[in-house]
Chains A and B, each alone.
Chain A
């Protein structure tokens, strides 16, 4: 069976997801339907499953073993390692590695400060090697995280199925909030990663410049310096590009998630409609208006002209004559006080009319009405009606008498 490595790799790339699913457990397949199942989960309906399975057998990704189909151990190992590369590192681990690097760099600097000690050379060499390893480890993990993000972003962009899009968006939210964002804090310009790598670079420069240190050590320092410089540059650029790529998708994911949550909440509010709905409606301001009755070409022109030519009114001019006192209608409270001093009034409306004036009938009649509610026991209506003349109207009303026997007590109330 001829196995073309290019075809093999192409097949792996095209069918990575179902193959990872198959490689998870040491699965053995007895029928074609069992093999198709992971493909059906991962790929669209239009995919040619029959051809894919035939290619898989042809490329040796599935081999026959005792009447069953199995994935060879080397393919399984390869896929599992590949999967590890797509696993984001927890930011805590990266931070711990960078912390460890900081301690090692401190140790290296201490050793450089005391080059006269006998064991110093070995200590410097050991610390430098350890720092190199830790730095590479941190960089590898950062790149691994970026790779995982890149893969997820590609997955999101390629997804056509709603379930996969939602899953991918959820994963992107998680990657951004729990992985990329904390990592950016670590590798930020003022972050621990840059500070520590700067210290390491300074140590390397000292080893290179100071003739006290042997040439072999200086050579190692030169290699470390170059490696740290370019690896750091590459990682920072890679992380920045990932951040740039993920940020808008994160915003979309965040927005969609909020909308979905909002829809659920609104559904819940309507299912149990009560006062809470008013709160919701306060958020939803959709204005409504009737046809404007005042709007026509002429009126808008007039309005516009009026607004443009508007001048505030001038204050009134003062007259040389002293102003006459204003004739004010007495307030109800005053009238009531005055009335409480009277023990007997034969015609209450007439009494009020004389004090309030005949210009307006309603003030006098309102007073009668209020007095009736407040001091009703002092008022007695006669059987006879009377006509009361006011300036604009003649009012026909009952003749009311006022008798106040305990005026003092009422005033206290």
Chain B
């Protein structure tokens, strides 16, 4: 949709749509987290947040604005359990490494500088599969060093959680804080009992078998 998109309801009345509605919707609908690095789309979302909210609500979506300044659809299709499992475990390993001072990131204050760290893909992969217990879990999740890029990094890029700087480096984007908050929630004492109890399956993975083939992490 062009920058002057409008709907003519009558000769005297015209409804102006946000100029980047199409790009924003395409991205958000794919599960993308739109942040400042997305440039004009993000600025358009920020400036016309109210109008976007109105349109997306009318279409049955909930646009969420995160305090860290990124936008995403919070009501949509839940990621497939194994894809989500891979991502959560990847972040558990990554955050654990950062917490232990690997990657030489942020002088130990890595939480607030997470989006400034540039990861070398080769060393990232190497670190992920360095310990045998990690290898075992990744094996169960069907992730090998060779398929690591396709199964995990590609999904991260697709969801707008990470960006490839060039072929060999990766930088996380603001969307990663959703995962960080997950770990924070898990670390809270009262939530630990909730984690231990399995949730109702209907609410957890409301995804049909037909969708499974199409939701696998293919990069754009």
Contact = CB atoms under 8 A, between A and B. Distances in A.
B22 A265 contact: no
A284 B84 contact: yes
A282 B204 contact: yes
Contacts of B74: 285, 287
B108 A258 contact: no
A216 interface: no
A264 to B, nearest CB: 8
Contacts of B80: 288
Interface string A260-285: 11110111011101011111111111
A160 B106 CA distance: 9
Nearest to A309: B9
Given A265-B186, A279-B196, A270 B137 contact: yes
B31 A288 contact: yes
A308 B58 CA distance: 10
Interface string B180-194: 101111111001101
A276 B89 contact: no
Contacts of B215: 288, 290
Interface residues of A, number: 51
A304 B80 CA distance: 31
B214 A283 contact: no
A290 B211 contact: yes
Interface stretch (B41-49, B95-103, B144-152, B166-174): B95-103
Contact of B109 (A165, A270, A273): A165
A263 B15 contact: no
B195 interface: yes
B88 A280 contact: yes
- What does DSSP make chain A's interface, helix, strand, loop or mixed? helix
B87 to A, nearest CB: 7
A261 B88 CA distance: 15
A278 B199 contact: yes
B5 A295 contact: no
Contact of B22 (A257, A297, A304): A297
A379 B78 CA distance: 50
Interface centre among B76, B101, B182, by most A CB within 10 Å? B182
Contact of B186 (A159, A280, A292): A280
A289 B30 contact: yes
Contact of A270 (B1, B25, B89): B89
B52 interface: no
Contact of B107 (A160, A270, A277, A297): A160
A393 interface: no
A304 B72 contact: no
Contact of B187 (A166, A262, A288): A262
B25 to A, nearest CB: 6
Contacts, number: 179
B198 A275 contact: yes
A270 B136 CA distance: 10
A158 to B, nearest CB: 11
B81 interface: yes
Contacts of B183: 258-259, 262-263, 266
B25 A295 contact: yes
B58 to A, nearest CB: 5
Contacts of A289: 28-31, 73, 76-77
B178 interface: yes
B73 A281 contact: no
B75 interface: yes
B158 to A, nearest CB: 9
A303 interface: yes
B207 to A, nearest CB: 9
A269 to B, nearest CB: 7
Given A263-B95, A266-B88, A287 B9 contact: no
Interface in A160-177: 160-162, 165-166
Interface string B207-220: 00001001100000
Contact of A290 (B15, B96, B194, B214): B214
A265 to B, nearest CB: 5
A286 interface: yes
B193 to A, nearest CB: 9
A292 B26 CA distance: 7
Contacts of A308: 9, 15
Which of A252, A263, A292, A297 has the most B CB atoms < 10 Å from its CB?
A263
Interface in B46-65: 55, 58-59
B92 interface: yes
B79 A286 contact: yes
Nearest to B104: A162
Contact of B180 (A259, A283, A303, A305): A259
A259 B184 contact: yes
B154 interface: no
B133 A271 contact: yes
Interface in B121-138: 133, 137
Contacts of B214: 290
Interface string A118-148: 0000000000000000000000000000000
23 contacts: A162-B101, A258-B183, A258-B187, A259-B183, A259-B184, A260-B99, A261-B186, A263-B95, A266-B88, A266-B92, A278-B81, A279-B196, A281-B88, A283-B194, A284-B179, A285-B74, A287-B31, A295-B25, A295-B29, A297-B22, A300-B1, A304-B15, A305-B7
9 residue pairs, one from A and one from B, having the closest CB atoms: A262-B187, A262-B183, A262-B186, A258-B187, A261-B187, A287-B76, A282-B199, A162-B108, A162-B101
